[in-house]
Structure 1
Amino acid sequence: MAHDVPHWLAAFPDEIRMEPGVVHLLPELAGAPASAGRTQAVSELLARVAAALSEAGRLNGWRNELLDVVAEDGTVLGVIERAAVRPLGIATHAVHLNAWTDSGQLWIAQRSFTKTTDPGMWDTLVGGLVSAAETPESALLRESWEEAGLLPHHLKDGRRSGQFTVRRVLPEGYQVEHVTVVDTVLGPEVVPENQDGEVAALRTVSPEEVLEMVADGLFTLEAALSMKASLGAFAPVSLVVPPAEAPRVSL
């Protein structure tokens, strides 16, 4: 998590206990079996933590979007406002779609210049976080419509082409993002069209141009890794920084 965040968490001494590399939520529930009541209690605590960080001006906006908070064993502990995950170093799951034309070109999208993260940079045609209670498959369908106007039948022949994890320090905190990459081929009759206003431009490029743009730093990190995985340029990659930057979340 960000170096200054423990200061704000200190306001919850009876509900959050911090140890090197681990943040314990509601220690009195340690060992309790998973239940709807436990999940609700954790979610309510995380809502108050996010509100406190927002009131302190520590969050980069407020998205009104909930993400799952998942323990190392895959258990969903609760949910939290999306804007709070990176200040707290909470892991997220994202999906990216590489959409090819039948002539071997790749559709790419330029991020809106008003985006708070990587404005104006180039991205895969579709990319986004998996929201609370979503599966990667349902998230990909939702994002594909919002970002490119694609319908489920456009993705019916899609195949998973890679997975990787990004771990890096960012100005707002610490990013831990597990990414699933899917490839599909769009026929010449399909022309992607952004629906949510978060894309400045759409275009097709050749694989050679993709690699040149990656080398020039024109793509977001996640998009560059997603497209290189699709191109077979290298195996799934994990970008790692010292473990102390990424505390585990536990009950």
Structure 2
Amino acid sequence: MKKRNLKTTFVMAMTMLVFCFWSCSNSGTGKAPDGHTAQISLDWHGTYSGNLPCADCDRIETELTINEDLSYVLISSSVKGDNEYTDTLSGSFTWKGNNIRLEGIPKNARSPWFKVEEGQVKYLDMKGNEIKGELENFYILIKNGNISVEDKRWQIVEIYGRPVAGMPETHYMIFSSDEGFVSAKMNCNILRIPYKIQYEFRIRFGHGMSTLMACPDDLEQEFLQVLSEADNLSTDGKYLSLNKARMAPLARFVLTEL
């Protein structure tokens, strides 16, 4: 009886050993995730803008937003002269290597494919291939924003050519890349204003909100006027200027600590 129990125990032990060896061997045969795909290696989520070619209009102003939760919003505006038709699509997308496929695109209406690259996406053909030819560089959408400007505190030092005396805590502007809002203070109210930076240096501000304190001077109103006029920015990393076309800077700022 004792020998039978020992034999049974030995068989069970060998069975478990073989099973363990088989499991460990097979666990190493699975293909390791590719750490070099755009999904893993790039900071891909955000909004991309550009003008795509159009056969029967002047251009297609295109804005694609792709989010970390694998949702997207695609806004396309077909422009012909003074006429403009805007179409908005939204849904989810899937990854295939470095390409993404937008779900919910009507069949044969347009290509659902984009290739994700560093700081840009390429619009692909209906089969997910890159478009070649004379217009191939026009099928690129550039990521919105400017890392040299955003998520930093900028102290205003000049407005409409006049010096501004202030402190980083009371006379500042911060571009929040995650929220798409400027937080600012001109020695008075706390301001919160939407903005959009395209092609790194083109900028547009929207209508914002503020607290309702009575201000001691006109600086805040002048600052809001600057935001309504500015259409581009320039920076060397230390100084920031808000400009209108190629005119003299409307306002100048210096980088300070957050």
TM range, normalised to the smaller chain? under 0.3
Higher normalized contact order (CA 8 Å, seq sep 6+, divided by chain length): 1
Structure with greater strand share of residues: 2
TM-score of the superposed pair, with normalisation by structure 1: 0.27
TM-score of the superposed pair, with normalisation by structure 2: 0.27
Which one has a bigger Cα radius of gyration?
A: 2
